């Protein structure tokens, strides 16, 4: 968390993350180039650059897209998510080399503006196998560019989390465009079935993991909470929540995070103000609810970030009765103080 | 999983052991899979041809310049190696034909057709064919010889013929790009042919052997713009064949260019 904007707030974790990331990128580039030179000595430098960057960027995009579901399946993957935007920006830079080199190679020094040429050289837009695949790659690159330049928290704050999140969810559109770009481009030339196999495996992995975690999440959140007294709904027993930890529930359209800490129970809105992370999967650290995604913090009794920060969450009334936690799904205004419910000493 | 021991906070210096242990395994798996994946991808690739573009190496050739139907230098100074035709197809810088450059040269030198000249340029060659890019543009002409000229191009009788194959831009195919054919190169080939580089039809003769035809209209006219949609596609073309200035020529009406699919193409092989 930071009050002021800095290009990157470096810390030990981020430095290690980026170090491993770029060693990985260079390792992939070196192995790919070595195999190309060994098995295809007639390859040109331009083709080598285009293909190397294509493989690395597409591989990185797959890693980026599986991080979310992996973290839902096992929280120990969360460090991968913490610095994911560095991964995204790195992937964009590699993709930019690929796209830039392809435009220079295939569209410059001709009788048409290179950008116009991308859209007009091959105009078989109604075809499938003959579709102008470079257009799809170009559009995907534009999306990745917009994501990369708005990746900083400055833009998150100024665009609002909802718009920022919406823009960055376009990564799935970019991925779809790139999959079709590959299918209608390289795979129309290369006829070894291994390429189709790899492409389909990638798509199945991404969609499969998202569907699996989506179903699990939906089941968790849609557990019926029907036992109601005076507007309060019974959500779980006290034992179901570890001390200093939380639980996410969905009642009457409200996404609520309930926390048990220091003999108290409090409830706040389950969506982090930073990047809409699942607050309920966080933990109480130094007396504050700490979001599992990027460590944003809120006080459990009023949903406010501790000074000097000014993020605020809606709060909910809670109750403890016969060893069970109850919550009232009618939210109070963001930052409203609610006296924590004391857990009776047994 | 013990939540107490695995809650990660990015802004803290230390990562819980449980996270570190899993991530090390994850990273090791990635680093093992990377060379396996790259090996699989590279090994499964189509091979590249051995054509050459002598980028950065400008050479001089002397011979008879033929303007029609496309700019060709009939090299007479024995610099062309055995196994290659000495009829060198001339192309311009970038994605342009040579005609614009030759036209500019002729403004000061007069018509070059049929004259013995020395030209400089960058060589592109493969599969028995030579091309020369007039890299230095208007400075490509080194010398005009004051010798008797060859007035006519070498013409042979036409005969009806038809082949299946692919329409290529010869500059890329014979060495500038790898691969200079197929779908991934299609946009570039369209740009090159649109820019005046003579389209070449790579006909599948038999057993993987190719014949390269300059592709012209029924009356020998240029049909570059009319065939752009069929460039880099597998097609059959029926027309008449001949040889002009050492290059086989296929005279065809653009409407007689028929798309075929890979299955029928390879069935004819």
CATH code of the domain covering residue A302: 2.102.10.10
Q: Give the per-residue pLDDT at B153.
A: 58
Cβ contact A130–B183 (<8 Å): yes
Smallest CA-to-CA distance from B91 within B196, B177, B166 is with B196
Task: Output the pLDDT for position B179.
Answer: 97
Do the Cβ atoms of B6 and A43 come within 8 Å? Answer: no
Q: Which long-range contacts (CB under 8 A, 24 or more apart) does A254-258 make?
A: A254/A316, A254/A329, A254/A330, A254/A331, A255/A221, A256/A280, A256/A316, A256/A327, A256/A329, A257/A282, A257/A289, A258/A318, A258/A325, A258/A327
Q: What angle do helix axes A133-149 and A171-184 make, rounded to 10 degrees?
A: 150
CA distances from A51 to A44, A136, A265, B185 (A): 11, 17, 56, 13
Residue B8 has pLDDT above 90, yes or no: no
Are the CB atoms for B178 and B172 separated by under 8 Å? no
Give me the pLDDT at residue A82, please: 85
Which chain B residue lies closest to A62 (C-alpha atoms)? B30
Of B10, B43, B229, the CB nearest to A82: B10
Distance (Å) from the alpha carbon of B95 to chain A's nearest alpha carbon:
5
Examine the fold and report which residue of A195, A220, A245 is the final residue of a domain before the chain moves on.
A220
Residues A237, A216 within the same domain: no
Does residue A1 belong to any structural domain of this protein?
no
Residue A7 forms part of a structural domain = no
Write the pLDDT tens digit of every residue in A236-266. 999 999 999 999 999 988 999 999 999 999 9
A33, A70, A106, A291: best mutation site toward chain B, by most B Cβ within 10 Å? A106
Contact yes or no for B8 and A292 at CB 8 A: yes
- Residue closest to A95 by CA, chosen among A132, A43, A147, A44: A147
Judge: A80–B23 Cβ closer than 8 Å, yes or no: yes
Residue A6, pLDDT > 80, answer no
| CB within 8 Å: A35 and B39 | yes
Which residues have CB under 8 Å from A207's CB, separation 6+? none
Q: Which domain holds residue A157?
A: 12-220
Give the distance from residue A146's alpha carbon to the nearest chain B alpha carbon, in angstroms.
Answer: 25
Least confident of A9-18, A163-172, B137-146: A9-18
Confidence of residue A4 (pLDDT cuts 50, 70, 90): low
- pLDDT score for B1: 43
**Alpha-carbon dihedral angle through residues A43, A181, A131, B218, given to the nearest 10 degrees:** -10
| pLDDT the model gives residue A2 | 47
Percent of chain A at pLDDT exceeding 90: 79
Cα A32 to chain centroid, rounded = 28
CA-based nearest residue to B98, from B74, B66, B128, B76: B66
Calpha distance B87→B80 (Å, rounded)? 9
Give the torsion sign (CA, B109, B114, B116, B122): positive
Shared domain check, A232 and A213: no
Residues A182 and A301 occupy one common structural domain: no
| Among candidates B9, B34, B188 on the partner chain, residue whose Cβ is nearest the Cβ of A105 | B188
Per-residue pLDDT of B47-72, as tens digits, reads 999 999 999 999 999 999 999 999 99
Across the A/B interface, how many CB contacts are shorter than 8 Å? 187
pLDDT above 80 (res B129):
yes
In angstroms, the CA A60 to CA A49 distance is 16
Q: What is the pLDDT of residues A320-334, one digit of tens each?
A: 998 999 999 999 999
Packed helices A12-39 and A84-107: angle between N→C axes, nearest 10 degrees: 30
How many CA atoms lie less than 13 Å away from A108 in the CB half-sphere? 7
Please report residues of B whose CB lies closer than 8 A to that of A185: 183-184
Disruptive mutation site among B10, B15, B34 for chain A (greatest number of A CBs within 10 Å): B10
DSSP state at residue A108: S
Which chain B residue has the Cα nearest residue A16? B13
CA distance B217 to A106: 26
pLDDT greater at residue A306 or residue B153? A306
- Other CB atoms within a 10 A radius of the CB of residue B144 amount to 15
Rounded distance between C-alpha atoms, residue A224 and residue B157, angstroms: 87
Average pLDDT value over all residues in chain B: 91
Answer yes or no: do A179 and A112 share one domain.
yes
The residue-averaged pLDDT of B132-150 equals 90
Q: Which of A24, A134, A285 lies at the smallest CB-CB distance from B187? A: A134
Amino acid A17: pLDDT: 92
B265 pLDDT above the threshold of 70: no
pLDDT reported for residue B268: 57
User: How close A272 comes to chain B (CA, Å)?
Assistant: 15
Point out the residue among A47, A75, A130 whose CB comes nearest to the CB of B178.
Answer: A47
Q: Which stretch of A10-14, A138-142, A320-324, B118-122 has the lowest confidence by average pLDDT?
A: A10-14
- At B197-248, the pLDDT tens digits run 999 999 998 777 899 999 999 999 999 999 999 999 999 999 999 999 999 9
How confident is the model over A151-166, as a mean pLDDT?
Answer: 88
Partner residue facing B15 (CB), from A9, A13, A63: A13
Nearest CA in chain A to B172: A106
Location of structure tokens 């989506």: A214
pLDDT at B157: 74
Last residue of a domain, one of A220, A253, A274: A220
Question: Where do the CATH 2.40.50 domains begin and end in chain B?
Answer: 52-144, 159-267
Query: Is the per-residue pLDDT at B162 higher than 90?
Result: no
Strand order in the sheet with A318-321: A228-229, A232-237, A324-327, A318-321
How far apart CA A325 and CA A318 sit, in angstroms, is: 7
Crossing angle (nearest 10°) for helices A84-107 and B186-194: 30
Average pLDDT of the residues in A11-22: 91
Is pLDDT of B28 > 50? yes
What is the Cα–Cα distance from A138 to A132, expressed in whole angstroms? Answer: 11
CATH topology of domain B52-144: OB fold (Dihydrolipoamide Acetyltransferase, E2P) (2.40.50)
Beta-carbon count within 10 A of A237 CB:
11
β-pairing, B247-251 vs B209-216, is parallel
CB-CB under 8 Å, A195 with B185: no
CB within 8 Å: B187 and A188: no
Residues A335-346 have pLDDT tens digits of 999 999 999 876
Indicate the pLDDT class of residue B149, thresholds 50, 70 and 90: low
Give me the sign of the Cα torsion angle A304, A69, A93, A177: negative
Q: Which residues of A touch B26 (CB under 8 A)?
A: 77, 80
Q: Which of the four pLDDT bands, split at 50, 70 and 90, describes residue B101? A: very high
CA distances from residue B120 to A110, B63, B90, B126, B131 in whole angstroms, order as listed: 22, 11, 11, 19, 12
Q: Which fold has domain B159-267?
A: OB fold (Dihydrolipoamide Acetyltransferase, E2P) (2.40.50)
Q: Domain count for chain A, please give it.
A: 2
CA distance A345 to chain B (A): 23
Q: Kindly provide the residue ranges of all beta strands, DSSP E only, lying in B127-267, ordered along the sequence.
A: 129-133, 141-144, 159-168, 200-206, 209-216, 234-244, 247-251, 257-259
Q: Are residues A39 and A179 in the same domain?
A: yes
Domain assignment present for residue A6? The answer is no
Confidence class for position A7, pLDDT limits 50, 70, 90: low
Tell me how far apart the alpha carbons of residues B61 and A26 are, in angstroms, rounded to a whole number: 44
Say whether both A137 and A75 belong to one domain: yes
Question: Do residue A192 and residue A271 come from a single domain?
Answer: no
What is the per-residue pLDDT for B30?
97
pLDDT value, residue A11? 81
Q: Which residues contact A170 (CB under 8 A, 6 or more apart)?
A: A143, A146, A147
Nearest C-alpha of chain B: how many angstroms from A248?
Answer: 15
- Looking at A220, A247, A270, the residue that finishes a domain is A220
DSSP state of B172: I
Residues of A whose CB is below 8 A from B1: 74-76
In this structure, are A307 and A281 located in the same domain?
A: yes
Residue B140 and residue B120: Cα distance in Å, rounded? Answer: 5
* Helix, strand, coil percent content, chain B, rounded in steps of 5: 30, 35, 35
Angle among Cα B174, B176, B177 to the nearest 5 degrees reads 95
ipTM tops the 0.85 cut: yes
A32/B42 touch (CB, cutoff 8 Å), yes or no: yes
Q: Residue B155's beta-bridge partner residues? A: B244
Per-residue confidence (pLDDT) for residue A132, from 0 to 100: 96
How would residue B81 be classed by pLDDT, with cut points 50, 70 and 90? Answer: very high
How many other C-beta atoms can be found within 10 angstroms of the C-beta atom of residue B245? 23
Are A55 and A188 in a shared domain? yes
């Amino acid at each position: 968390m930071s009050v002021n904007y800095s290009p990157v707030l470096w810390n030990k974790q981020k430095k290690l993350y980026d170090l491993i990331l770029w060693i990985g990128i260079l390792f992939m580039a070196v192995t790919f180039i070595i195999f190309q030179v060994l098995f295809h000595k007639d390859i040109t430098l331009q083709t080598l650059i285009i293909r190397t960057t294509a493989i690395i960027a597409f591989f990185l995009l797959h890693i980026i897209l599986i991080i979310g579901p992996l973290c839902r399946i096992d929280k120990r993957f969360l460090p991968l998510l913490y610095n994911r935007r560095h991964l995204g920006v790195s992937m964009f830079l590699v993709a930019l080399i690929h796209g830039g080199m392809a435009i220079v190679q295939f569209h410059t020094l001709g009788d048409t503006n290179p950008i116009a040429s991308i859209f007009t050289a091959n105009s078989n837009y109604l075809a499938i196998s003959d579709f102008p695949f470079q257009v799809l790659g170009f559009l995907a690159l534009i999306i990745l560019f917009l994501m990369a330049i708005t990746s900083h928290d400055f833009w998150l704050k100024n665009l609002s989390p909802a718009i920022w999140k919406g823009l960055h969810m376009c990564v799935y559109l970019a991925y779809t465009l790139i999959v079709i770009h590959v299918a209608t481009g390289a795979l129309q030339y290369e006829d070894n079935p291994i390429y189709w196999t790899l492409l389909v495996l990638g798509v199945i992995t991404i969609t499969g993991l998202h569907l699996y975690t989506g179903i699990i999440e939906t089941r968790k959140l849609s557990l019926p909470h029907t036992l109601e007294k005076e507007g309060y709904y019974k959500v779980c027993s006290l034992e179901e929540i570890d001390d200093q930890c939380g639980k996410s529930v969905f009642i009457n359209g409200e996404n609520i995070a309930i926390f048990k800490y220091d003999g108290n129970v409090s409830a706040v809105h389950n969506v982090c103000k930073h990047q809409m992370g699942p607050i309920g999967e966080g933990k109480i650290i130094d007396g504050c609810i700490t979001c599992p995604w990027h460590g944003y913090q809120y006080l459990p009794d009023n949903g406010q970030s501790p000074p000097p920060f000014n993020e605020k969450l809606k709060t909910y009334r809670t109750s403890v009765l016969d060893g069970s936690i109850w919550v009232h799904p009618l939210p109070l205004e963001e930052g409203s103080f609610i006296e924590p419910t004391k857990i009776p000493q047994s | 999983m013990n939540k107490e021991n695995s809650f990660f906070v990015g802004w803290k210096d230390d990562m819980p052991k449980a996270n570190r242990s899993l991530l090390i395994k994850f990273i090791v798996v990635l680093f093992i899979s990377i060379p396996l994946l790259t090996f699989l991808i590279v090994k499964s690739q189509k091979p590249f041809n051995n054509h050459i573009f002598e980028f950065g190496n400008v050479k001089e050739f002397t011979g008879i310049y033929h303007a029609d139907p496309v700019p060709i230098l009939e090299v007479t100074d024995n610099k062309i190696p055995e196994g290659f035709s000495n009829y060198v197809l001339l192309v311009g810088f970038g994605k342009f034909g040579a005609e614009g450059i030759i036209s500019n040269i002729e403004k000061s030198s007069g018509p070059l057709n049929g004259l013995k000249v020395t030209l400089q340029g960058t060589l592109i060659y493969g599969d028995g064919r030579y091309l020369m890019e007039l890299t230095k543009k208007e400075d490509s002409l080194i010398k005009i010889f004051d010798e008797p000229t060859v007035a006519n191009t070498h013409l042979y009788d036409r005969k009806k013929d038809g082949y299946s194959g692919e329409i290529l831009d010869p500059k890329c195919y014979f060495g500038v790009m790898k691969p200079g054919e197929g779908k991934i190169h299609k946009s570039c080939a369209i740009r090159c042919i649109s820019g005046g580089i003579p389209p070449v039809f790579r006909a599948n003769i038999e057993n993987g052997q190719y014949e390269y035809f300059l592709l012209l209209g029924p009356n020998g006219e240029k049909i570059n713009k009319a065939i752009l949609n069929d460039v880099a596609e597998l097609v059959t073309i029926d027309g008449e064949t001949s040889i002009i200035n050492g290059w086989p020529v296929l005279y065809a009406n653009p409407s007689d260019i028929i798309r075929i699919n890979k299955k029928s193409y390879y069935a004819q092989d």
